[in-house]
Structure 1
Amino acid sequence: MNWEQLLSLKRYGDTHKRLRKEQDETRLGFEVDYDRIIFSQAFRSLQDKTQVIPMSKTDFVHTRLTHSLEVSVVGRSLGRMVGKRLLEKHPHLKEVHGYQFNDFGAIVATAALAHDIGNPPFGHSGERAIGEYFKTGNGKQFKSQLTEKEYQDLCDFEGNANGFKILTETRKGVEGSLRLSYATLGTFMKYPKESLPKKPTKHIADKKFGFFQSDKDFFEEVAIELGLLQTRKGKDISFSRHPLTFLVEAADDICYTIIDFEDGINLGLIEEDFALEYLIKLVKNTINTDKYNALQTTEDRLSYLRALSISTLIWDAADVFLKNEEAILEGTFDRALLDKSNYKAQIEDIIKLSVEKVYRSSEVIEKEIKGYRIISDLLDTFCTAVTNSVQNVQTNYDKLILTLLPSRFIATTSCYQQLLQVACFVASLSDGKALDLHQKIKGV
């Protein structure tokens, strides 16, 4: 892979090449991408979607929106740090093509901003709930009407694939959805493969999948334009990651490691003294002990350690990327950047404690159970109404239910498209909207 191709400014429908040196510096294309996501309806809905604690009523627990903004900020710093060094190493990118180090920051920040845009309500349990409905619930009745990969798309419903759909799907009057630059779309594509085969290798890019069968053609177009290395051909396609995707992943890993931990402390799920000790171990080489000891409140101590921890991990992740740039460009670097961090042991200790005290807390589990039921009922109601309508056996109740389904989610083509659109509709709902809609269809 080569950086000039990877930094493509091309957008859906372009008939001419966009050159970096001809860009308006006051309205740079990569920054336009950021603006389009910020103003999108799908991004706004993240303000009421679970990060860790479903349907939390406290004002200090992170939602998908605040998490995405923080990941974007961290991603911007990572992109700028790496970009500055890459331009020194590859001066032709600046001298001949006009790229600046801020371009790298803008691309990573934008992809990071959108990284959770396709996630369903109720956190990762929302993804599992959609998948379980089609795998073991009433949705398994549709298996015979779908291809193997179409059925797998539904059984392993993936927020990353739904995010790619949201960012790129053409619908009437809206060509190419947000029409983001291909560089940004490529950086967003964390798992550039189909739903099958599942985990064919231990490479990090094969862990999940990144696009639905309905979006396969455009996915290939973006990957080929960017010069991503094709790792499988024929009936099963996959590509290597865009190098900057590793920085988006690192930004996400840094934020959820530190900030989910912080939420656990603020909620009282993790004891303050115990928790602060874990963070101090992470920053022991950079902490100013006099400054830390002068802080009087938990909030101030936690804020200081959080900022120092994130800064420490940003510098470390950038260093790992730059040391492994050649392998990353060759597609042979097969793990997350933090897996090679100098602080891997400390990170694992923090995550282990978060899993035990936060992710498996009774508050989280009880609300995830509630989310499972809500999503399963919504899918059953809407899938039944849609399929009954197509088969001309709809009841009056089905007709009423369909009035609640926005027109952009109504498919008139294949069974796969109809079911996928219903799944994507449910995934688009915020936690509060899903709860409200569930109460309506249940007559509560």
Structure 2
Amino acid sequence: MDYNSKLKHERFRSSTAPKDTLDEEMESDRGRSINSAAVRRLQQKTQVFPLESNSAVRSRLTHSLEVQQVGRYIAKLVLKKITQNDKLKELGLEDKQDGFTSAIEIACLLHDVGNPPFGHFGEEAINMWSEKSLLNIFTQKFGEVIKENYLVKDLLCFEGNAQAIRLLHSLQDLNLTYSQVACLIKYTRPAYEPKPNDATDSFKYRKKKPGYYFSEEEYVHTLQNSLNIASGNRFPLTYIMEAADDISYCIADLDDALDKDILNVEQLHDAIKEIWESYLDDERIDNAVIKKRYLPNLADNAYERCQLENHNKNHKYILTLRTNLVNDLANYASDRYIDNHDEVFNGTLDASLLDGNDEFNLATEVLKNVAAKYVFSAKEVERLELQGHAIISGLLDIYTPLLNLDYEDFKTLSQNEFLKSSPIETRLYHDLSNKHKRCYCECVQSVFEKEEVSDADKILELYYRSRLLIDYVSGMTDRYAFEEYKSLKAID
């Protein structure tokens, strides 16, 4: 193992101000990322509660900052343990410790930039619209056989992780180092490739979701070649970013639920113990693990501490629980990184650092199940999700006439910013972001330059035209999507 083959200076384009060391290049990536519009928009995108006016409740930005801190902590623990084993120099990390940590921190900050408005239900809304409306448009233009086309399959799988790669490379052109972007490729299959359906598939975890789109496939392959990442495998630092995210959100959603009075301390405390005990009937879990009562004991300690608090019992309970849990899980994740170092380095570990038949993995599962049962299914949350679905699908429907135009008409519209026969479509096109239109025009330029255009060319153009609309709507903040929907629907 030699991290010199993974932590490199290379970018898609040569930097106009190249740095001398990896640590300096990572500082450059930090500056590009923190100053990007992608990060700024996170402050007005939901974590769980869309359009939330209570600033104490997490946005995507505050969640990402928490993930960043946990990721930094795990990275420091990993480096400390490598140092204790006297392997820093052997692994090529002696002069890359700051760069190692910084790459993980910035990956944690960027990990949610591809998420659409209204959280994960926003992803569902885009996919439902694509299955219902977008597929129908392709079928009308090219016949039923188009359903098997890989570009169409690619469009039918919107995924926040894949959209993040598209956003950072194709749309915002941040020109981050390959090492920085590789940290974000959590899943390793293109969107058009089917999910592994065999439980014994050695890639079943790494390929359970799309990791990138066809539109970024060439870029991802170039990145993989630069960093010696075999097809289907991960970048080693991705495992730490993923663990930091899992650790953060398994407790954060419950914290927000307390803040919004969806649960009180007694209900949350009882739910944790109830769901922990329910695993006694689960044959997958060793009963000895359950009988250790790791998480219930942490919860009992937090409950005892909060009873001594006169004013803010909610804060005391969740603070005590979170502090102990994050410390334990971060140490566990760092141990798993070291214990599985060969597989992690090569990207062949087909599991997360928090997986395992033990009390730490079970703790994360229990907390996720508590959130699913008592928070995500709350009427207030489901109502907000329905509103989000109506807004996103409504916006995509409003812009759908642009997809119905034939190839020649849309080519004219995109080149001239005007189509006399289509005044509605002309105005809809003007409404789109110039950044997104620039990306579309660059992607189809080679098609537009042809004298004779085949059906395959037209399918490719419509693929990028569809991406244009999905990029625009998915990049909106919750509030902006809400206001745009009301404005275009003429709702006061």
Same fold (TM over 0.5): yes
Matches within 5 A, 1:312-331: 312-331=328-347
Q: Does 1:90 align with 2:81?
A: no
Q: Which residue of 1 aligns with 2:434?
A: 407
Q: Which residue of 2 aligns with 1:307?
A: 323
**CA gap 1:364/1:396 in 2 versus in 1, 3 angstroms:** same
* Deviation (angstroms), 1:46: 1.0
**CA gap 1:285/1:63 in 2 versus in 1, 3 angstroms:** closer
Identify unmatched segments of 5+ residues in structure 1.
Answer: 231-238
**CA gap 1:421/1:58 in 2 versus in 1, 3 angstroms:** same
1:402 counterpart letter in structure 2:
Y
CA deviation vs aligned residue, 1:5-45 (integer Å, no higher than 9, x gap) = 111121122399x89xx4286xx221221221111111111
Q: Which residue of 1 aligns with 2:121?
A: 125
1:249 counterpart letter in structure 2:
E
**CA gap 1:66/1:43 in 2 versus in 1, 3 angstroms:** same
CA deviation vs aligned residue, 1:333-372 (integer Å, no higher than 9, x gap) = 2111112254222222221111011111111111111111
**CA gap 1:328/1:60 in 2 versus in 1, 3 angstroms:** same
| 8 Å contact from structure 1 (residues 205, 334) kept in 2 | yes
| 8 Å contact from structure 1 (residues 264, 270) kept in 2 | yes
Residue identity (%): 27
| 8 Å contact from structure 1 (residues 80, 102) kept in 2 | no
Q: State the alpha-carbon separation in 1 of the partners of residues 21 and 343 from structure 2.
A: 31
Q: 3-state SS of the aligned residue for 1:210?
A: strand
**CA gap 1:54/1:289 in 2 versus in 1, 3 angstroms:** closer
Q: Does 1:162 align with 2:163?
A: yes
Q: State the alpha-carbon separation in 2 of the partners of residues 97 and 374 from structure 1.
A: 48
| 8 Å contact from structure 2 (residues 229, 346) kept in 1 | no
* Deviation (angstroms), 1:153: 2.3
Q: 3-state SS of the aligned residue for 2:186?
A: coil
| 8 Å contact from structure 1 (residues 75, 251) kept in 2 | yes
Matches within 5 A, 1:252-271: 252-271=245-264
TM-score normalised to the size of structure 1?
A: 0.88
CA deviation vs aligned residue, 1:216-249 (integer Å, no higher than 9, x gap) = 111100011111122xxxxxxxx20111111111
CA deviation vs aligned residue, 1:194-234 (integer Å, no higher than 9, x gap) = 1133222453210111111111111100011111122xxxx
2:9 counterpart letter in structure 1:
L
Q: Which residue of 1 aligns with 2:282?
A: none
CA deviation vs aligned residue, 1:146-190 (integer Å, no higher than 9, x gap) = 6722212221101111110111127xxx8xx11111111111111
| 8 Å contact from structure 1 (residues 187, 243) kept in 2 | yes
Larger radius of gyration: 2
RMSD (CA atoms): 2.7
| 8 Å contact from structure 1 (residues 119, 160) kept in 2 | yes
Q: What is the total number of aligned residue pairs between the two structures?
A: 425
Q: 3-state SS of the aligned residue for 2:247?
A: helix
Identify unmatched segments of 5+ residues in structure 2.
Answer: 274-292, 410-418, 445-460
* Deviation (angstroms), 1:74: 0.7
Pick from 438, 444, 469 the counterpart of residue 422 of structure 1: 469
Q: State the alpha-carbon separation in 2 of the partners of residues 261 and 91 from structure 1.
A: 39
| 8 Å contact from structure 2 (residues 10, 178) kept in 1 | yes
CA deviation vs aligned residue, 1:32-91 (integer Å, no higher than 9, x gap) = 212211111111111111111122222221111111111111111111211233354533
* Deviation (angstroms), 1:383: 3.0
| 8 Å contact from structure 1 (residues 80, 104) kept in 2 | no
CA deviation vs aligned residue, 1:255-288 (integer Å, no higher than 9, x gap) = 1101111111222222312424639953847969
**CA gap 1:440/1:285 in 2 versus in 1, 3 angstroms:** closer
TM-score normalised to the size of structure 2?
A: 0.80
Q: Which residue of 1 aligns with 2:455?
A: none
Matches within 5 A, 1:263-302: 263-276=256-269, 278=272, 281-282=294-295, 284=297, 294-296=308-310, 297-298=312-313, 299-302=315-318
Q: Does 1:199 align with 2:195?
A: yes
* Deviation (angstroms), 1:307: 2.0
Matches within 5 A, 1:360-379: 360-379=377-396
